[in-house]
């Protein structure tokens, strides 16, 4: 096991110096809602105003013909972009974009029986036989190269990363058709962060993707091979002694005297991918997407790309409106100092504060774990972000012993920015995350789950499941360009 003790010592010193274990309660002022200034609802009838002068500067910077805005309405020097005109502008910006995948670890907890059964034991009992068969496909594999869905005929669907690569290629193809730009303008289209546990298996699977039925033709047509992404390996850092044992903390050792190591959270991407971010900027990229591997809804959205370019903001992030069964996680707040940030309910934001706002009819926006960054700003501020992104400790009690784990959360970067845009999105289009294999099975509408869902139709749980199922179908059709044939999702050609 490769353990980065040098990085571990730096983190340990910071933890011992601050002795700040938990997320501090944020000085929340309000739960913000769409205001047409910092927060926009991403929908087909949206309107986005911006000055013609600013727009023309952007067109010149990115070598985009002025004909792109010929049919955009203009009143007193203000252009009124629609969803469609923003989408078209975004396609012109695809050559300047790289799509970043935060790979999860191995699919261990994902297909663990205890984790999957405890949220609904009655449902799990009905699905247990099918669950066991599907779990065998996932065990011992990085989560990103396990099936992202199950076909109606019961066969495994395409992998999470395989789908993401197809989405990127489809956007490149659409951009090339519009701009006429050569393949050389679209290189470095994908990058990723892996781990020591997953890197070799991911690399081996990507070689197989070159002949994937949903990728190989697009690779030839676009001239862009996304199966060879820019890549960096996240180091493992030592676990620490539990905080209950008192300070100062030290490196944890098991009963045999061996060090135990874990990844330090996806927030470490700013350290791990530092050189890749700089390389991408030097190659001509100006924007980077960043999102989790297991979110089927994490795809390129040209409208967001267009808005970020037009405004010159530092980043955009996706948040979704509250749903009846989504009562925990990170939510958008505005602190009393006016800064937008993301805080977890119950840890950073009190449950009482959230409940009061709900009772007052204030909409709650939940983090969808998708960010689009201005790469010039990101590279210039990497050191500051790395220095200030909080380190969070959690105490663990496992078979190996009691220890504390240090992690950094990517989306806490929101609180470090002072010029950003939030998109309020449709949760079941942009955030379909398979945290458990049972999530995947329910989203895929497997027959083994149908009797339970049918008998509990008038519940918040089943209503949410039905929305996820619709969202999966929408993504497979609209975002990934697949169609259902003989019980399987496949390409139309």
Q: What is the pLDDT of residues 441-473, one digit of tens each?
A: 999 999 999 999 999 999 988 999 999 999 999
Mean pLDDT of the chain, nearest integer? 91
Q: Please, what are the domains in the chain?
A: 5-491 (3.90.550.10)
The model's pLDDT over 237-274, given as tens digits with 9 standing for 90+, comes to 999 999 888 899 999 998 889 999 888 889 999 999 99
3-state SS of the chain: helix, strand, coil percent to 5? 45, 25, 35
What's the rounded Cα separation, in Å, for the pair 401 and 428? 39
Q: Phi, psi at residue 435, to the nearest 5°?
A: -75, -30
Structure-token match 């970043």, residue found: 100
Facing residues of 373 across strands? 288, 315
The model's pLDDT over 121-180, given as tens digits with 9 standing for 90+, comes to 999 999 999 999 999 999 989 999 999 999 999 999 999 999 999 999 999 999 999 999
Q: Give the DSSP H or E segment for 275.
A: helix 274-282
C-alpha separations of 62 from 31, 287, 330 in Å: 36, 12, 35
Residue 67 CB partners (closer than 8 Å, separation 6+): none
102: left (phi over 0), alpha (psi -120 to 50) or beta: beta
DSSP 461-493: HHHHHHHHHHHHHHIIIIIT-EEEETTEEEE--
What's the rounded Cα separation, in Å, for the pair 318 and 45? 18
- CA–chain centroid gap for 125, Å, is 31
What's the rounded Cα separation, in Å, for the pair 396 and 466? 35
pLDDT at residue 30 is higher than 80 = no
Identify which has the larger pLDDT, 119 or 91.
Answer: 91
Q: How confident is the model at residue 325, as a pLDDT?
A: 44
Kindly state the percentage of the chain with pLDDT values over 70: 96
Flag the least confident range among 26-30, 368-372, 373-377.
26-30
* Greatest Cα pair distance in the chain: 75
Cβ atoms within 10 Å, residue 129: 9
Q: Which pLDDT band, with edges at 50, 70 and 90, does 21 fall under?
A: low
Q: Which pLDDT band, with edges at 50, 70 and 90, does 20 fall under?
A: low
First to last CA, the chain: 45
Facing residues of 348 across strands? none
Q: Residues 215, 166: contact at Cβ < 8 Å?
A: yes
Query: Which of 148, 135, 149 is CA-nearest to residue 107?
Result: 135
pTM over 0.85: yes
Q: Residues 300, 406: contact at Cβ < 8 Å?
A: no
What's the rounded Cα separation, in Å, for the pair 182 and 169? 14
Q: How confident is the model at residue 312, as a pLDDT?
A: 97
Q: How confident is the model at residue 1, as a pLDDT?
A: 57
Q: Tell me the pairing of strands 420-425 and 315-321.
A: parallel
- CA–chain centroid gap for 462, Å, is 25
C-alpha separations of 398 from 5, 254, 395 in Å: 22, 11, 10
Q: Residues 265, 409: contact at Cβ < 8 Å?
A: yes
Region 302-312 average pLDDT = 98
Q: Residues 288, 376: contact at Cβ < 8 Å?
A: no
Degrees, nearest 5: CA angle 18-23-28: 120
């Amino acid at each position: 096991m490769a353990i980065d003790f040098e990085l571990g010592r730096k983190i340990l010193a910071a933890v011992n110096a601050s002795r700040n274990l938990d997320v501090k309660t944020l000085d929340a002022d309000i739960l913000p809602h769409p205001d047409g200034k910092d927060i926009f609802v991403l929908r087909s009838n949206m309107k986005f105003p911006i000055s013609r002068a600013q727009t023309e500067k952007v067109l010149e910077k990115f070598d985009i013909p002025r004909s792109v805005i010929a049919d955009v309405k203009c009143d007193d020097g203000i252009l009124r972009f629609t969803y469609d005109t923003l989408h078209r502008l975004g396609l012109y910006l695809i050559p300047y974009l790289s799509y970043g995948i935060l790979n999860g670890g191995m699919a261990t907890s994902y297909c663990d029986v205890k984790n999957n059964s405890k949220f609904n034991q009655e449902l799990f009992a009905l699905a247990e036989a099918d669950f066991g068969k599907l779990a065998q496909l996932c065990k011992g594999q990085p989560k990103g190269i396990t099936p992202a869905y199950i076909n109606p005929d019961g066969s495994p669907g395409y992998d999470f990363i395989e789908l993401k690569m197809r989405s990127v290629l489809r956007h490149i193809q659409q951009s090339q058709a519009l701009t006429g730009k050569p393949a050389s303008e679209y290189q470095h289209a994908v990058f990723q962060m892996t781990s020591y546990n997953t890197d070799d298996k991911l690399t081996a699977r990507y070689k197989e993707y070159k002949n994937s039925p949903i990728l190989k033709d697009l690779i030839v047509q676009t001239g862009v091979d996304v199966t060879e992404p820019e890549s960096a390996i996240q180091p493992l850092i030592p676990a620490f002694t539990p905080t209950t044992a008192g300070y100062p903390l030290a490196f944890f050792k098991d009963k045999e005297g061996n060090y135990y190591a874990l990844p330090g959270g996806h927030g470490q991407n700013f350290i791990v991918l530092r050189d890749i971010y700089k390389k991408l900027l030097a190659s001509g990229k100006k924007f980077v997407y960043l999102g989790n591997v297991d979110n089927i809804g994490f795809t390129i959205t040209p409208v967001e790309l267009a808005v970020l370019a037009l405004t010159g903001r530092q980043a955009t992030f996706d948040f979704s409106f509250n749903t009846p069964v989504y009562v925990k996680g990170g939510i958008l707040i505005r602190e009393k100092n006016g800064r937008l940030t993301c805080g977890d309910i119950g840890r950073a934001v009190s449950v009482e504060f959230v409940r009061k706002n709900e009772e007052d009819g204030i909409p709650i926006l939940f983090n969808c774990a998708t960010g689009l960054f201005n790469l010039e700003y990101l590279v210039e501020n990497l050191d500051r972000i790395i220095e200030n992104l909080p380190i969070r400790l959690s105490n663990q009690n496992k078979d190996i012993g009691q220890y504390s784990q240090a992690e950094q959360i990517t989306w806490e970067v929101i609180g470090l920015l002072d010029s950003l845009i939030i998109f309020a999105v449709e949760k079941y289009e942009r955030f379909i995350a398979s945290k458990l294999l049972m999530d995947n099975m329910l989203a895929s509408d497997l027959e083994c789950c149908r009797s339970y869902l049918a008998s509990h139709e008038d519940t918040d749980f089943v209503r949410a499941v039905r929305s996820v199922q619709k969202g999966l179908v929408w993504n497979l059709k609209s975002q990934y360009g697949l169609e259902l044939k003989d019980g399987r999702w496949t390409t139309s050609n």
